[in-house]
Amino acid sequence: MSRVISVLFVLLLLVVGGGMAFLASWDMPAPSKTVEKVIPDERFPR
C-alpha cells in the first residue's frame, strides 16, 4: 500500500511540475479588444 501511495505522489508531482512548466513557457497573447467606458462628470469633484 505504501508503494502505491508513493507512486501516486510522484505522478502528482510530475503532473503539477508539467503544468507549471507549461504555464511558464506559454506565450499567452495580450487582449486586443478596445474598451471604452463613459464616466460621468458628476463623479469628479471640482
- Helix, strand, coil fractions of the chain, as percent rounded to 5: 60, 0, 40
How far is 3 from 10, CA to CA, in rounded Å? 11
Task: Please report, as a single letter, which amino acid is at residue 45.
Answer: P
Residue 6's pLDDT is 95
pLDDT value of residue 8: 96
* Regions of the chain with pLDDT less than 70: 46
pLDDT at res. 13 = 97
Give tens-digit pLDDT for 18-30.
999 999 999 989 8
**In whole angstroms, what is the distance from residue 42 CA to residue 32 CA?**
30
